[in-house]
Structure 1
Amino acid sequence: MRKHPLEQWGALVAGKKGRWITLAFWVLLVAVLSFTLPQINSVESNNAENLPSNAASKEAEKVIKEQFPNDSGIPLLLVWHREGGLNQEDYAKIQKLYKDLESNPVPHQATIPPFGKLPPQALMKSASENGSTLVTPVFFDQKSTTEQLQVGLDDIKKQVKDLDVKTTGSYDNKDELNLRYSGPVGIAIDATGLFKNADFKLLAATVLLVLVLLILIYRSPLLAIIPLIAVGLAYGVISPLLGLMAEQGWIDKDDQAVSIMTVLLFGAGTDYCLFLISKYREVLLKVENRFEAMKISMKESGGAIMMSALTVVIGLATLGLAHYGSFHRFAVPFSFGVLIMGITALVVLPAILVIIGRVAFFPFIPRTEKMAQEVAAKKGKAPKQHAPQHRIGKKVAHLVTGKPWAIIIITVVFLGGLAAFTPKINYTFDLLSSFPDDTNSREGFKLIEDNFSAGELAPMKVVVDTKGKDVNLKEDLEKLSYVGEVAAPQQSEKDKNIQLYEVSLKDNPYSAEALETVPKITKATEGFLKDAKVEDGKVWVGGETASQYDEKETISRDESVILPTMIALIALLLLVYLRSITATIYLVGTVVLSFVAALGAGWIVLHYVLGFDAISGSIPLYAFVFLVALGEDYNIFMISEIWKNRKEGKPHKLAIQEGVIHTGSVITSAGLILAGTFAVLGTLPIQVLVQFGIVTAIGILMDTFIIRPLLVPALTTVMGRYAYWPGKLFKKQ
């Protein structure tokens, strides 16, 4: 009889000779790649844009650069503040710093305003209306990297030390002059610093958490280390290959993507390892020869592991369809990382398990009855009886097959109740909102926000082509209900037909209300041009508000493309694997329901418990991709067991019961570990990762404790033989 392909694969990679060759090959591969290629963390992030070049705000930015060139450079905003009002001594300190910067520029400094030469009264006029806050810029070379900007800022900080200025902590003391570093330079440096400091903390916390959970769950020190070794060997291949891709410019390195990829590898990677380890342990209780046991284990669990990994790989790869840069940059690291991790679980892990043998499970070594009797005889004791396994699993299995409709109604009502909170979620597209409150650049921004009018923070830039007509739209724009002030129009030196209006909104330019004014002001300005008899007059709207509006619209577009594409691809995979249209529909439906419920539950925790006013607009798509792909993982592993039981001729209900029983403990363990690893993101100082970690962890726990053990088997029960329609099992009585 011809052996199953996965059984043959098990014999190849985990045979008596193959196990050593497999392990030696992989270790050598890791060594060669590590010594010849750069690690991904050593490659500099290129700060790629999130918005596509054809976004309206990007086109406006291009026109502004061409028609109103400003070679000043990238601004670092120095935000000076004294509660109660800046005094003469404060202005003298500010002027001294600018005199020093003029005579002794810091590295990569481009230009500075002549504040050192101006009379103090001139500076006072630029202060806030209450006199407490002044913003002064230092411009850096446009081509400077974040590391170069950091060097320049460090030198400025050294010069500030001599001025007796407070740069951290509370700034509400009237006796202290405070300084914060904000603007594009300050924000870029803080963003890089947050991710840089988070990497090691995240890795250490993830490894420690996985190790502790594995020890608590399996009570075997060696078994707890094996999955971590497998993940480490996978990462040893992934990191240099991603480093090569980034160095060659094939992908854009994203620090946030690398951080989350680390979590994903330890979470999903440990899951795949546990799927094989649990099956191997089960087979070792029946088969004495460990090589034969591994072949059987590969045959029975290898297909599910392959399908689970492939589902996640394809699901995450759909991010490559995104127009939003951050989503697009996540596609390759995530999907490639899981692909290599899946290969490692099917190549290296079997070899390691067979090399170590039954000792891997010490002190609870799985033995056949014959082996247990022999060991007991040597010790002069009666053989130990295996403790009854799966007590809770058996109760759950009988409950879901005995009262399936009750389970379906209760779970759907519960999940639906949580999902009802999803429409109430407030979203933000402001990068600074994801920084901790005490981040220097965010504190500086808040000082500007509190002491200057809302619209002055980031005026909207409206550019029009008058087509040669004598037009002034200042008064028209000021009549709009949402507009505060409009500066006098600037005329381009290159094209006299091009005008620029700086429009200050009444609302905070980063608020949701302000974002909605972007299409309004575009349409209104086009109307004003028509009223002025300007035929085919063009309008461009730029600035921070327009940029965030485009970000919102781009993310919305990506959701409309990626979500259905991902569902369709995963459904196709399930259909090919299970040969059942019915099962494909309800398996996909349950994880989508779980995602919507997780989003609602996440909002309850983030808003009503932790006090977040809004969450990042990117969270829904990130959460969807991860939760649907990873949630389907568990469904596939359990449903594979049910299908296997049915093929062996077991009755429908018994097949479901044994499927729930035999996969219950391993999926519960895997789910706890995966949820725990994502929850680690909640310890980081970056709020967008905190939000993502909490929503994803909640969703995984729902999949683990509601969808997989209750809803899916209950649905499979009520479907009867139609659960297998139209495959061969449908016809099987």
Structure 2
Amino acid sequence: MFKALGRFISRHPWYVIGAWVALAVAVVSLAPALQTTSEESDFLPDHYESIQAMTLQAEKFPAAITPAAILVFEREDGEPLTEEDQAEVARVAEELGPQLETKTFLPQVFVVNEQGQPNVSADGQVALGIVGLADGATGYDPQAIEDGQALRSDLDDLVADSGLTVQSGGPVLQSLDSQESSEKTLAIVGIATIVLIVTLLAIIFRSVIICLMPVVVVTIVSLVATGLISWANEAFDLKADSSIETILVVVLYGIGTDYILFFLFRYRERMRQVADTPGAVVYALERAGEAIASAGGAVIAAFMALVLSSLGIFKAIGPALAIAVAVTLVAALTLVPAVVTVLGRALFWPSKKWKVEPEAARFAARGEGLARRPGLYATGSGLVMAALAVFALGFAPSFDFSSSVPEDLESSQAQATYLDHFAAGTSDPVPVLVQADEGTLDEQALATYSSALAGADGVAQVAPTQLSEDGTTAQISLILSVDPASDEAQDLVEGPLREVAHSAAPEGTTAYVGGTPSIFVDMQQAMVRDYKVVFPVAALVIMLILALLLRSLVAPLYLMAAVGLGFAATLGATVIVFQHVQGEPGLIFMLPIYIYLFVTALGTDYNILMIARLREEAREGKDPRAAAAEAVKHAGPTIAAAGVILAGTFASLMLGGNTLIVSMGFALSFGIFMAAFVMAMFFTPALTALIGHAAWWPGHGDEKAPAEPDEPVEEPVRA
């Protein structure tokens, strides 16, 4: 099949290039913009308690104020606020209110507490203003970003010459800062990725054109993939996380460059033998096409397994990344060979080194050493991964999405100032909704229930009970003694608070605990469920792809075991660096999923490339150890180059400047490095050499293939 594809492309390269350009223009012209969200509740299905509480609150208490922004006022000189200062705060709030005629904010700023007193901290240093979220608004859509920018601009004008400073934070402003931070991160990561790829390709090939090829190809692929992702999100109402655009840049450039390298190394190898471009293109696609397609299929399968997730974030990210990889895969098998056919020998300009086969002395020596002592290589590389994997047991998940906003941005500073002067839970109370199963609620029973909630661990204050207009539902807001977004708050809600809320609820009623920490609790439960479903399904699909590629039932078993060990080692190394060395209390909860998918899928890419070359050498009549030595010698440079480039592109995420992106960048780059230089380079070929002929049971794809007669190479038909 790939041989036939190579023949077609070598005959009609301009048709293929023209089709890709036309497709890119059509998609850019017609596709909607890619929309993302950072709202945690968008990621959970309706059957979770936190979402049921939110739905009931919106239905029964439509006038309830949901904080959209918090305004933290201080004196410029750092002194306590005077009565005149408090009057200035009230003036700013009064004048700001009418300017909040937006789709996101309520046209009122609340600067007094429930007792009607100025909302000033106990030490008198800080005054707090709260801007409510308009009914039906989310605070995380594009309109919220515009409203947040306008709010800050209006505040700057209103506090000028007042002797006061104001910091704005809360969900809407955090969303604004997160978007601006993501845009900067995207620019930094994009530039760093391109510079890295161009530099490494220049070192490997010493060709100007090859250096530029990934940039041009991935630009076209990115335009097509982003448009298709937008259509898919719109068609299936998928909620993409705000980090998806940054990850897409890395995935497209990293994987795209990998697949280009897989093709170019085999193309250059053939050009040294025959110096005939059409024939070399056919040869390269025939030899590398199956490995590229299988590797891409494994990645796509792993990503698509996320549609089984119960979290909306992964349901959107999975198909998005799968679409991106699918477009990249098709481009690697069609657009890249077409461009290479058109360029011919000019592809390698100005270098002439491509004509001389490198000695690959280091890889040859490694291969020979592995062939002599495969047990030592398998044991040594396996123990390295196992030692790191032990630390994966200490992984502590964090659900604080604010970590995606750097600490030096205004919303982070506003939150820090607020927490320094007010009770931690004041700005984000935890609502408890009580609904009568039949009839209306008994107010005396509600008073008893409110007292029981006040005695629960971690509850600092209980607001007066609110009764719905129809008398069937009550809302009791709890102010926690800890930050609602913290791990402590999550533990409180998951344990004593929900237990008291459920057990002490009046007879004939049902209680629901809502709010931020309740959402985090439910997200953790959803993650545990997803680990049990997504991981096995992805592994089984990848094993099936490996079985079909290798015609073996044995090799896929130890290949997937190796990849699983690589995943655990990567997570363990990340725990060591961030939790033990840097002292972080936890790592973002989605990190294991990302590590599993990228390390499993992309690690399988390198395993496929190595094992396919090993099989190729075996089919030429070499015994298992000799075949392993030759595979390391010939496939080693390709895997090393691809691994360095892909690990480097993921490492560029560490320039993002926030904990989420930095930890993800380290984890994925380390995982790719392990997959390329430990697993694929040593562990996999060593195990295959040890197992020998039995590794290919029952297909025995390592048996020597019958010789095929050489076919004349046809000149391409130029369009």
Unaligned 5+ segments in structure 1 are 167-174, 369-385
CA distance in 2, matches of 1:266, 1:511: 36
Q: Residue type of the partner of 1:415?
A: M
Distance 1:98 1:406, change over 3 A: same
Aligned 8 A contact 1:106 1:155 in 2 = no
Alignment of 1:556-567 (within 5 A): 556-567=528-539
Give the TM-score, by structure 1 length.
Answer: 0.88
Alignment partner, residue 22 of structure 1: 16
Aligned 8 A contact 2:120 2:127 in 1 = yes
Shift of 1:331: 1.5
Return the match for 1:702 from 648, 662, 674: 674
CA distance in 1, matches of 2:204, 2:620: 31
Alignment partner, residue 93 of structure 2: 98
> Aligned to 1:86, what secondary structure does the other structure show?
coil
Alignment partner, residue 548 of structure 1: 520
The number of residue pairs the alignment matches comes to: 691
Q: Residue type of the partner of 1:158?
A: S
Aligned 8 A contact 1:182 1:444 in 2 = yes
Q: Residue type of the partner of 2:530?
A: D
Shift of 1:672: 0.6
CA distance in 2, matches of 1:367, 1:186: 54
Return the match for 1:513 from 475, 478, 488: 488
Alignment partner, residue 264 of structure 1: 251
Return the match for 1:502 from 446, 459, 477: 477
Give deviations 1:673-716, integer Å, cap 9, x for gaps: 10111111111134212211110000001111111111111111
CA distance in 1, matches of 2:99, 2:701: 81
Alignment of 1:443-454 (within 5 A): 443-454=413-424
Shift of 1:476: 2.1
Aligned 8 A contact 2:482 2:488 in 1 = yes
Distance 1:595 1:632, change over 3 A: same
Q: Residue type of the partner of 1:11?
A: R
Alignment partner, residue 288 of structure 1: 275
Q: Residue type of the partner of 2:82?
A: N
CA distance in 2, matches of 1:141, 1:206: 41
CA distance in 1, matches of 2:272, 2:704: 30
Alignment partner, residue 641 of structure 1: 613
Return the match for 2:169 from 163, 182, 201: 182
Matched, 1:628 2:576: no
Distance 1:517 1:728, change over 3 A: same
Identical counterparts, % of pairs: 27
Distance 1:85 1:46, change over 3 A: closer
Aligned 8 A contact 1:79 1:179 in 2 = yes
Give the TM-score, by structure 2 length.
Answer: 0.90
Distance 1:75 1:251, change over 3 A: closer
Shift of 1:159: 3.5
Aligned 8 A contact 1:484 1:503 in 2 = yes
Return the match for 2:2 from 6, 20, 33: 6
CA distance in 1, matches of 2:449, 2:352: 83
> Aligned to 1:463, what secondary structure does the other structure show?
strand
Distance 1:638 1:439, change over 3 A: same
Alignment partner, residue 410 of structure 1: 380
Q: Residue type of the partner of 1:238?
A: A
Give deviations 1:656-680, integer Å, cap 9, x for gaps: 1111111111110001110111111
Unaligned 5+ segments in structure 2 are 706-719
Give deviations 1:210-234, integer Å, cap 9, x for gaps: 1112112222222212232222232
Shift of 1:243: 3.6
Return the match for 1:688 from 660, 666, 674: 660
Matched, 1:601 2:597: no
Alignment partner, residue 466 of structure 2: 490
Alignment partner, residue 711 of structure 2: none
Moved more, 218-227 or 198-207: 198-207
Aligned 8 A contact 1:97 1:159 in 2 = no
Matched, 1:53 2:46: yes
Shift of 1:608: 4.4
Distance 1:605 1:176, change over 3 A: farther
Q: Residue type of the partner of 1:500?
A: Q
Alignment partner, residue 361 of structure 2: 391
Moved more, 655-664 or 402-411: 402-411
CA distance in 2, matches of 1:92, 1:475: 36
CA distance in 2, matches of 1:398, 1:473: 75
Distance 1:185 1:220, change over 3 A: same
Q: Residue type of the partner of 1:88?
A: E
CA distance in 2, matches of 1:160, 1:485: 31
> Aligned to 2:274, what secondary structure does the other structure show?
coil
> Aligned to 1:473, what secondary structure does the other structure show?
helix
Distance 1:284 1:70, change over 3 A: same
CA distance in 2, matches of 1:503, 1:388: 70
Shift of 1:40: 4.1
Aligned 8 A contact 2:239 2:313 in 1 = no
> Aligned to 1:502, what secondary structure does the other structure show?
strand
Shift of 1:416: 1.6
Q: Residue type of the partner of 1:576?
A: L
Shift of 1:64: 1.8
Aligned 8 A contact 1:490 1:501 in 2 = yes
Matched, 1:365 2:346: no
Shift of 1:364: 3.7
Distance 1:731 1:201, change over 3 A: closer
Aligned 8 A contact 1:288 1:367 in 2 = no
Distance 1:306 1:100, change over 3 A: same
Alignment root-mean-square deviation, CA: 2.7
Aligned 8 A contact 1:91 1:123 in 2 = no
Return the match for 1:231 from 195, 218, 238: 218
Shift of 1:390: 1.1
Aligned 8 A contact 1:79 1:134 in 2 = yes
Distance 1:611 1:524, change over 3 A: closer
Moved more, 54-63 or 460-469: 460-469
Alignment partner, residue 708 of structure 2: none
> Aligned to 1:514, what secondary structure does the other structure show?
helix
